[in-house]
Amino acid sequence: MKLTETKDIKQWNDFVESSPHSHPFQLSSWADIKARNGWQSYRFVDEQDGAVIAGAQMLMLEAPLIGYKLAYIPRGPLVKSDDCDLDKLLEGLSEAAKSKGATLLKIEPTFTKYEPPRPWRRAKQQILHPETSVIDLRNQSTEEILKNLKSGTRRDIRKSQRQELEVVTVSSDADFDKMLKLYKATAKRAGFNLYADDYYREVFSRLADNNIIWIAQNKQGEPAAFLWAAHGGDTAIYLYGGSNTLGRDTYANYLLQWHAICHYHEAGISYYDLNGHVSDGVGSFKSKFTDNKVTYIGSFDIPLKKFSYTLWENTLPRLKPILHFIKSKIRR
């Protein structure tokens, strides 16, 4: 399959929006966010009668000193229909990555039943969780979705609805500052690190109409919890969330998750992705909303420059400063 590089951003984003099981991480705005950390982006497509039928947004990062170039396709490639020849598509993407000087191409697609052929190999390092929890919003009313939730979850949603909380959409700098304050309190309590404030401001700005932040607050305007989600195509994904003592006392996180589910159901979105299923407190909370765990095929690599790839695999792990640099750029 001979892929061509497209610089038509509208054409690409329209394809992402119309592709089954598409993902916000394939939108051009997500690549714009990654550019602040040195990632370059390319979009390669297969066209038929002037329409894109398959392709991928490829991010590329060069490691310092050794000239190693990682090409990475998060939650891609994407296809228009299930009869696409995936083997040929991956072959075309490998050639495209090689033409850009990549040492290695890594993919983490939304495929659930596919095994890339040799010389593709299952990656030693994964970036995104291969297992996530997804609520299917199709072909059922919100009443039916609520009925299918666990009884304890329904109870906690009803408790939250009795707390006289209101849900507001972040639309001003003051609202955004409220959200950041909540997130910082959550991070301090849970013991995880956040990026600089300007990173989150840029994510919000770049994603524009493809993301939304809700805050649950009391009648006095005191914030209790927030939920930040993004959407592209038929999928919405839960990006970030947090709460304070008021939020925990009023079950505000349950109110916000249910608000997001209802919002995306009304908007005609097919899937609400809770973004990774992990065995911690956050994972436990997510599991209260659905038992529908979706397992993607995981992370696969194909070496494109054998010497540099061998250097990466055998030598670079000993060069901790460079390895730390690469990992920090990948995960942001």
Q: What DSSP designation does 20 have?
A: T
Q: Tens digits of per-residue pLDDT, 20-53? A: 888 999 999 999 999 988 899 999 999 998 899 9
Is the confidence at residue 317, as pLDDT, over 80?
no
Residues 74 and 139 in one domain: no
Q: Judging by beta carbons within 10 Å of its beta carbon (0-12, 13-18, 19+), is residue 261 exposed, middle or buried?
A: buried
Residues 77, 167 within the same domain:
no
Terminal Cα-to-Cα distance of the chain (whole angstroms): 32
What are the φ/ψ torsions at residue 45 (nearest 5 degrees)? -135, 155
For 50, the domain range is: 4-129+297-330
Same domain, residue pair 148 and 278: yes
Q: Say if residue 106 is in the same domain as residue 210.
A: no
Q: Which residues, listed in sequence order, are joined to residue 164 by a DSSP beta bridge? A: none
Whether residues 144 and 80 share a domain: the answer is no
Query: Which H or E run includes 175?
Result: helix 173-190
Q: Report the CATH number that the domain containing residue 22 is assigned in CATH.
A: 3.40.630.30
Does residue 285 share a domain with residue 182? yes
User: Domain check: are 184 and 305 in the same one?
Assistant: no
CA 159, CA 164: separation in Å to the nearest integer?
Answer: 10
3-state percent helix, strand, coil for the chain, nearest multiple of 5: 40, 25, 35
Please check whether residue 103 is in contact with residue 70, taking contact to mean a CB–CB distance below 8 angstroms. yes
Residues 149 and 205 in one domain: yes
Task: Output the pLDDT for position 292.
Answer: 84
Q: Are residues 175 and 206 in the same domain?
A: yes
Give the amino acid at 108.
Answer: E
- Which residue, chain included where needed, has tokens 């209790």? 224
Tally of domains within the chain: 2
Please tell me whether residues 144 and 94 are part of one structural domain.
Answer: no
Phi, psi of 9 (to 5 degrees): -65, -40
Shared domain for 164 and 273, answered yes or no, is yes
Residues 245-302: tens digit of each pLDDT: 999 999 999 999 999 999 999 999 999 999 875 544 455 677 788 878 899 999 999 9
| Predicted local confidence at residue 279, as pLDDT | 46
Same domain, 8 and 101: yes
Question: Alpha-carbon distance 147 to 251, whole Å?
Answer: 19
Q: What distance in Å separates the CA atoms of residue 230 and residue 237, rounded to the nearest whole number?
A: 5
